[in-house]
């Protein structure tokens, strides 16, 4: 590979890396994909645009990993459970698999350790700007970093970017939002410190702090922001916690101007929420804003159209498929696109009404990971092939990691047997998933 180049735009671009599996996007889905493929013995690289893995788990200051089980069965075992167990040990707490609060700093170290321990080649600060493909067959992704433009070659590619960025560049079909193109409003999460949790009632020390007080102020018409879907604040340390607070209404997640405005608005809102907590919520009188997220919490953007499109009906029917690669059970959770009060209030009602009984779940078919118009590309995470309602269920971390682990295993099987992704032995893929802790 030394000194090799690839032709692009009429000139040569140096090849930085060449191997078996290229995973683009180092969030939850990408980590699971890269680790799974590497543990199968193949040469794997993970490309991440920031300087650490984790995505929303680290850069996004996401407070919690939720719904790993269906109340009876551990659905998202495997890499997801391994990460939760490891970060729990580092934080000195007991792992809670249905609602586990996390701190971004120990999570960064845990993800580095798991990736390196699996033998993944990690490339941080790399931004993919194009692909080289021929009739749906990807040859390389092109990325820019401190050394300029460079090519990364592979046999199988996995799009775990969340936005379906690689699939889009490869001309796979996609859709976004509701019938009018509106998407769920994003959130810029926050990290507070100097919170005295001993002043909080026991039921509010770990989850949801501030919801009761915000609801009271909203009903009185004195809440500082028109927010009718208040998620809350979640403890992740002795005196610290993360807030999933506010929405940047009307944001277009694929418009850089709109996203930039949302980031600015999110930082403005963070100070408003800090003032609210200090003045209204016991234990927060001395709280400080330690950080705002360096990644906007985008809930929804592209949904890649694959060989099967998962639907709301599949969710309602708890449908299972012959090619299931996992099961999931998180409710339908479509956040409002704008500031309409009734639309925001309907979110929690819909969440409650769609919740499964303990032990119930739906299946995730392998076909939903296979974008149309491509041959050697898989998608994983919130951009897999599904309609809007189903996407609102599968988009959370455990769902993303189930699909990521399946994508990594499928890539490994395709390389091992030198077959097309659509010819991967489903029974063998399912057995690998089961053996690694995924419920099927």
User: What is the per-residue pLDDT for 201?
Assistant: 72
CB-based contacts of 415, cutoff 8 Å, min separation 6? 20, 21, 42, 155, 156
Q: Give me the pLDDT at residue 199, please.
A: 87
111 vs 175: CA distance, rounded Å = 31
Q: How many CB atoms lie within 10 A of CB 181?
A: 11
Q: Name the β-bridge partners of 291.
A: 191
pTM: 0.96
Instruction: At 80, list the tokens.
Output: 């997801």
Angle at CA of residue 73, ends 71 and 77, nearest 5°: 115
CB atoms within 10 A of CB 44: 31
What pLDDT shows up at residue 200? 81
- Which pLDDT score is estimated for 237? 92
**8 Å CB contact between 103 and 58:** no
42 DSSP β-pair partners? none
* 8 CB burial (10 A radius; 0-12, 13-18, 19+): middle
Write down the pLDDT at residue 205: 54
pLDDT of 207: 64
Please give the Cα distance from 32 to 18 (Å, whole number): 20
Query: Mean pLDDT for each consecutive 10-residue tract of the chain (440 residues)?
Result: 85 97 99 99 99 98 96 97 97 92 97 99 98 97 97 99 98 96 97 92 68 92 92 92 95 98 98 97 96 98 99 97 99 88 75 91 99 98 98 98 99 98 99 98
Query: Which tokens hold the place of 401?
Result: 């990691």
In our burial notation (b when 16+ CB lie closer than 10 A, e otherwise), range 274-290 reads: bebbeebbebbeebebe
| DSSP reduced 3-state for 377 | strand
Instruction: Count the alpha carbons within 13 Å of 337 in the hemisphere toward its beta carbon.
Output: 15
Decide: helix, strand or coil at residue 359.
Answer: coil
């Amino acid at each position: 590979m030394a000194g090799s180049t690839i032709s692009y735009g009429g000139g040569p671009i140096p090849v930085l890396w060449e191997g078996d599996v290229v995973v683009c996007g180092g969030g939850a889905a990408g980590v699971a994909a890269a680790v799974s493929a590497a543990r199968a013995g193949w040469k794997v690289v993970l490309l991440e645009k920031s300087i650490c893995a984790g995505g929303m788990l680290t850069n996004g200051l996401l407070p919690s990993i939720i719904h790993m089980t269906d109340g009876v069965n551990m659905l998202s075992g495997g890499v997801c459970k391994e990460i939760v167990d490891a970060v729990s040990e580092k934080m000195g707490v007991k792992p809670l698999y249905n609602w586990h609060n996390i701190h971004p700093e120990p999570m960064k170290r845990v993800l580095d350790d798991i990736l390196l321990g699996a033998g993944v080649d990690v490339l941080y600060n790399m931004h993919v700007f194009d692909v080289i493909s021929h009739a749906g067959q990807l040859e390389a992704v092109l990325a820019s970093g401190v050394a300029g433009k460079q090519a990364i070659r592979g046999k199988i590619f996995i799009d775990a970017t969340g936005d379906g960025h690689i699939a889009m560049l490869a001309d796979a079909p996609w859709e976004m939002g509701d019938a009018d193109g509106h998407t769920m409003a994003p959130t810029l999460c926050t990290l507070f410190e100097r919170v005295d949790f001993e002043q909080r009632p026991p039921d509010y020390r770990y989850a949801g702090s501030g919801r009761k007080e915000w609801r009271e102020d909203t009903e009185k018409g004195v809440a500082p922001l028109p927010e009718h879907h208040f998620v809350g604040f979640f403890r992740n340390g002795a005196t610290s916690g993360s807030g999933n607070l506010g929405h940047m209404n009307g944001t277009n997640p694929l418009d850089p101007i709109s996203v930039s405005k949302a980031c600015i608005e999110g930082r403005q809102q963070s100070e408003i929420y800090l003032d609210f907590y200090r003045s209204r919520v016991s234990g927060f009188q001395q709280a400080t804003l330690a950080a705002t997220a360096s990644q906007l919490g985008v809930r929804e953007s592209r949904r890649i159209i694959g060989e099967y499109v998962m639907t709301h009906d599949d969710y309602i029917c708890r449908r299972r498929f012959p090619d299931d690669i996992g099961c999931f059970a998180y409710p339908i959770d479509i956040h409002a696109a704008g500031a309409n009060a009734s639309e925001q209030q309907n979110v929690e009602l819909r969440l409650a009404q769609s919740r499964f009984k303990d032990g119930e779940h739906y299946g995730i078919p392998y076909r939903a990971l296979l974008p149309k118009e491509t041959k050697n590309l898989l998608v994983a995470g919130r951009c897999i092939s599904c309609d809007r309602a189903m996407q609102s269920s599968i988009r959370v971390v455990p769902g993303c990691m189930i699909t990521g682990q399946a994508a990594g295993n499928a890539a490994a099987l395709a390389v091992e047997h030198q077959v097309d992704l659509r010819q991967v032995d489903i029974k063998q893929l399912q057995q690998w998933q089961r053996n690694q802790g995924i419920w099927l």
